[in-house]
Copies of this chain bind each other. A is one copy, B any other.
Amino acid sequence: MADTTDPRLTSLAQSLPATVPFVGPEAQERARGKPFVARLGANESGFGPSPKAIAAIQNAAGIVWQYADPEAYDLRQALAVHHGIDAEHIMVGEGIDTLLGNLVRLLIAPGDAVVTSAGAYPTFNYHVTGFGGVLHSVPYAGNYEDPERLIAKANAVGAKLIYIANPDNPMGSHHDAVTLQRMISAVPDGCLLILDEAYIDLAPEGTSPYVAPQDDRVIRMRTFSKAYGLAGARVGYALGAKPLIAAFDRVRNHFCMAKLSQIAALEALQDQDWLAHVQNEVAACRDRLAAIALDNGLTPLPSATNFVTIDCGADGSFARRVLQAIGEAGIFVRMPFVTPHDRCIRVSCAPEADINAFATSLPYALKAARAAT
């Protein structure tokens, strides 16, 4: 039976939970017996990728029999030009998740300390636990991750890694570049700061701190999954010092990236007009989601991302009931995992029809949630 554990697993593997970080919306669709009418739960971009990226996939579909270039040379060269740095500062991987996993594997031996915020990205925690690292978390300062407290904790526990997302997920908040630069300058010796910038393309200009390419105190994570609209292609990249970037070659799965994903990401990067279009759409949608929240007596949090986190004004039980009722109305939405963030639901920006469906469902969901108390 699958509920027994194979006795041949390593003691570390034996100790790991058999649970998964996120259940996909498809599993929920199977449970409810019909598809969602709107996918607003995973911060995918319903605005889609550049039409040129879609066309490139279609045109290249016939060569899917070829393995992708394990060095992702063309994409790395284009990223090097885009960022004005050498390609040796860039590692391309199958989404930030894969890069985080490789990075944890490179730096964390069993028992090593890692610092993050309580309620930050669960998949990072999954990797840390998976390689035997010891997680230490600090609370958010309200709706913001707390750089000073993260640094203080890292000093206290002798952390090898610190994780921060800027902008933040799941709260949508962000710090300015100066705050991040101050944080970087305070990273303890022997420690590495992971700056997850998955949502940076949707943040105000100047949110990303300047980091000298050779600065080995920080590694930045970027993705084509959010603003570029290629979540299903699985392409992300890390920016960092050359020795650290080179180290990924020691453990990564060199031939893991899909051929058409590399091609699509290259096209998407080169269509910055489409990116600007999506940025405008997202900005307008954030305003609309905020207005919907206010119309329903709820509090939208400011967002520097492609989602709006909405404070439902009560506790986690209440927000979970709201989420449940929205789901029953056919709309896939997620919410933060931990208290006090779990007073909120988190709604992805999307095309108008999807947001209309959310707007229609919300009053009924709130009514249902209130009736259940």
Contact = CB atoms under 8 A, between A and B. Distances in A.
Which of A11, A101, A106, A112 has the most chain B CB within a 10 Å cutoff?
A106
A284 interface: no
| A: contact size bracket | 35 or more
Nearest to A244: B6
Interface string A249-266: 111011111111100100
A169 interface: no
A74 to B, nearest CB: 8
A45 to B, nearest CB: 5
Contacts of A258: 232-234, 258, 260-261
B64 A49 contact: yes
Interface in A1-43: 1-13, 16-24, 26-27, 30, 39, 42
A158 interface: no
Q: Interface of chain A, helix or strand or loop or mixed?
A: loop
Interface string A220-234: 000001000111111
Interface string A29-69: 01000000001001011111100011001100111111111
Given A8-B191, A18-B246, 17 more contacts: A6-B216, A10-B109, A16-B251, A18-B247, A19-B249, A24-B67, A26-B71, A27-B69, A30-B73, A44-B67, A49-B65, A53-B64, A57-B57, A61-B61, A232-B260, A233-B258, A256-B256
9 contacts: A1-B242, A10-B112, A12-B109, A18-B250, A24-B255, A61-B61, A233-B259, A258-B258, A258-B260
